[in-house]
Every structure is written in structure tokens, then in C-alpha cells.
Amino acid sequence: MRLSFCAFLAIGVVLLGSGCTPKSAEAVAAATATTTTVGYDSTVDLAPGESLQLEKSTSNFTFLGVASDNRCPKGVNCIQAGAAVVRIGLPDGGVRELTVRAGEKTLPRFSVKDGLVQLLALNPYPEYENNIPEQDYRLRLKIMPAAAQ
């Protein structure tokens, strides 16, 4: 069977268009997420794409990744300490962005059912002329019961 150039081109366009829709970082993270179950009064490190489920609760969320990281690198004199923005996927499908400011004593946090999640750190800390691959980030969190709020 011999196909004309136009028929060959049409088949190619259909095949290429059928499975090549770009996915957002959130969709990729959600599709590859592993879930860790923890109780309150726990400290945990999450990699991008990892989810956290609270014991005896319906509360869960996913560390989707780092939207931006402009913290002043180690060994550099900066005018400002800078900040990083992390993205958290919520169970209702929403996304929450939290800002981690370098050197700030007030740590960002968000509420979950019957509890509170406090961001303790975003690691690794940037170094001069050393880009951090997305998969190397770790978000350190402390999970507290509602009474601790």
C-alpha cells in the first residue's frame, strides 16, 4: 500500500496531536506523588511531588514545587535576603503559594482540618553560581494540632 505525501502528513499530524499536550508542573507532580502519613507534632521533609496525609484526619496536601527562589546565595553580599515561593496543592484542587523569606523569624504557615502546618525551611540553600535542580528541593514542615495555633 502506497500513501501519498498528503495522507502521510495528515496521519503524522493526528498522531502527534493525540498525546502531546503539555502538562503543568502541578499535573506532573500530582501524577507522580507519593504519600507519607504522619501524626500531629511531627516534622517531615517533602520533595516536590510528595503528598502528606495526616493520621486520623482527611487533611492532605502536596508539595508541588518551588515557583521561584531568589534567596541571596551563600558567600554573596546582597542588599536583601530574598525569598522563595513554594506551591502547595490542596485537596480541593486549589493551589496555595507561600513565601519563605530568608532570615525572617516569622515562618509561613497554613491551616488544615484540626491543625496547622508551619514551614520550617526550604533546602538546600542557594550557593553562588550553583543552580538547584527542582527535584533536589526539600520542604521541611512541622504539623501541629489545632490547640497549638
Q: What is the pLDDT of residues 54-99, one digit of tens each?
A: 887 777 889 999 999 999 998 889 888 899 999 999 888 889 999 9
For residue 30, which amino acid is it?
Answer: A
Does residue 16 lie in a domain region? no
Is the pTM higher than 0.85? The answer reads no
> Domain of 126?
32-148
Which residues face 132 on adjacent strands? none
Q: How far is Cα 63 from Cα 49, in angstroms, rounded to an integer?
A: 6
21 in any annotated domain: no
Residue 105 lies in a domain: yes
Cα separation, 89 vs 149, whole angstroms: 22
- 93: CB partners within 8 A, 6+ apart: none
Domain count along the chain = 1
Residue 11 in any domain: the answer is: no
